[in-house]
Amino acid sequence: MAQYLYDLFWTDSFWLPQGYTWQSLQRRSDPPPTVFKACLADLKYSFACALVLFIIRHLLDRLLYRPLGCWLGLTDPAVYQPRTKEDRRLEMAFQNGKRSGKSVDYQALSRSIDRSEVFVSNWFRVRRNRDRSSQLTKFTESAWQISFYSVSFLYGVAILWNKPYLWSTIEIWRGWPEHHVTSDVYWYYMVELGFYWTALVTVFSDTKRKDFKEMLLHHCITIVLMVFSWSLNFTRIGALILALHDAVDPLFHLAKIGSYTKLRWLSDPSFVTFMTVWFVTRLILYPFRIVLTALTELESECGISPALRGLQACLLVLQALHVIWSYFIVKVAFRVVFKGNRQDSRSDSEESTEECSETVKANGDSTVDSKAKST
C-alpha cells in the first residue's frame, strides 16, 4: 500500500508535462555529461548551509550587532523584579496566565489586593510591554537581515548578469529540461534555501509583528517554490525570483535601524529608496516579468501539468502577499508625511509602556518602572 501511494504521488503525468518522464531529469554519467541537472538529493546541502548561517548569525549578534547597538545608545530593559507583596501577587497571576493561556480575572484580582480594576488592568498592560522585544533586539535582527540580503543580492546580480535568461524571459524555459546548472547558481540556491530554513525557525522567536501569519506563509511558499523548482530543474526562474526579492530587504531594514537609533539622515532616505525599489521590483517586475512568463511562456515552451499549475498558483499567492505588504508600506508613508509618525504599521505594540505607566501612576503608585521604553 505504501509503495502504491509513493508511486501514485510521483507519477509522471502529475509532475511533468506530457511527453516527459522522471528519466528526462536524471543526470547522465556515461558518457561524461555536459549538462549538470538539478537533483532533489542535492538539497541536503541546504540543511548544512542553514546550520552554518545559524552559527554565523549568533556569532555576529554577540560580537558585532549587539555591541554596535549599545554604542549607538540602544539598551535592553532591565529584567523586571517584583519589589512588594502586591507586585509579587500580580506577577504570579501574570505568569500563570502566560502558562495557561487563559485571561486573568482582573475584577477578582483587584479585590484580592485591594486595588481598583483599572489599576490591575494597566499594571498588566505595562507588564506585557516589558516582555516585548527591545529596540536593541530589533536592531540586531535588522542588522542580520541587512548583512545576509546585501551579500546575497550582490552575489545574485553578479552571477546572473551574463545569463541570457536575465534579459529574455523566453530563455527561462527554452531548452528545458536540458538546463545546465552552473556551480555559482548551485551554491546560490543552497545558501538561500538554507537561509529560509533558519528563517522558518527563527520567525517564532524573533519580534512578532501584525503580519506574522503572512510572513510565515511567505517563508513556506518560498521554500516550496525553491524545492519545487530545483526538483524539476526550473532553476532559472528560481534564481531570478531570489535576486528580485533580495533587492529591497537591505533598504527596508536600514530604514528600520535608522528609526531605532533616531538617525533621520539614515531612515528617511533609506525609506524613500526602499519604497521606490519595492514598487518597481514587487509590483512591476515580478508580476509583469516573472508571473507573466510563468503563466504564458511556460506552457508554450515546456508544456503544462497539474504540478506546474501549482507552481503558477504559488507565484500568484506570493504576489498577493506583495499587495498586502504594499498596503502596510503606504500606511507608513501616509503617517510619516501627514502625521510625522514613523512607527512600523506592522508593529505588535498595543500601547507605549510610558503611556501605560503614566496611567498606572494616575490610579495609584506602582513599582513597575515608569521609565521602561516602548518597543
The per-residue pLDDT for 187 is 97
User: What's the rounded mean pLDDT across residues 69-88?
Assistant: 73
> In this model, does residue 202 exceed pLDDT 80?
yes
The per-residue pLDDT for 33 is 64
> In this model, does residue 344 exceed pLDDT 70?
no
The per-residue pLDDT for 349 is 43
Higher pLDDT, 204 or 97: 204
**Amino acid code (one letter) for 336:** V
User: What's the rounded mean pLDDT across residues 89-93?
Assistant: 76
User: What's the rounded mean pLDDT across residues 236-248?
Assistant: 96
Residue 372: pLDDT band by 50, 70, 90 thresholds?
very low
> In this model, does residue 369 exceed pLDDT 60?
no
Lowest mean pLDDT among 148-162, 187-201, 324-338, 354-368: 354-368
DSSP string, 38-79: --GGGGHHHHHHHHHHHHHHHHHIIIIIHHHHHHTT--PPPP
Give me the domains of the chain, ranges plus CATH numbers.
40-71+136-338 (no CATH), 78-133 (1.10.10)
User: What's the rounded mean pLDDT across residues 265-272?
Assistant: 93
Residue 81: pLDDT band by 50, 70, 90 thresholds?
low
Tell me the CB-side half-sphere exposure of residue 233, using CA atoms within 13 A: 25
The per-residue pLDDT for 363 is 40
Residue 135: pLDDT band by 50, 70, 90 thresholds?
confident
- Residues near 334 by beta carbon (within 8 Å), at least 6 away in sequence: none
> In this model, does residue 280 exceed pLDDT 60?
yes
The per-residue pLDDT for 219 is 93
The per-residue pLDDT for 107 is 78
> In this model, does residue 374 exceed pLDDT 80?
no
Residue position matching grid coordinates 546548472: 181
> In this model, does residue 351 exceed pLDDT 60?
no
DSSP string, 5-16: HHHHHT-HHHHS
User: What's the rounded mean pLDDT across residues 44-73?
Assistant: 96
The per-residue pLDDT for 78 is 55
Average pLDDT value for the chain: 84
Tell whether pTM > 0.85: no
The three-class DSSP label of residue 163 is coil
Q: At what angle do helices 306-338 and 264-280 cross, to 10 degrees?
A: 140
> In this model, does residue 282 exceed pLDDT 60?
yes
The per-residue pLDDT for 204 is 87
The per-residue pLDDT for 192 is 98
Higher pLDDT, 323 or 95: 323
The per-residue pLDDT for 110 is 80
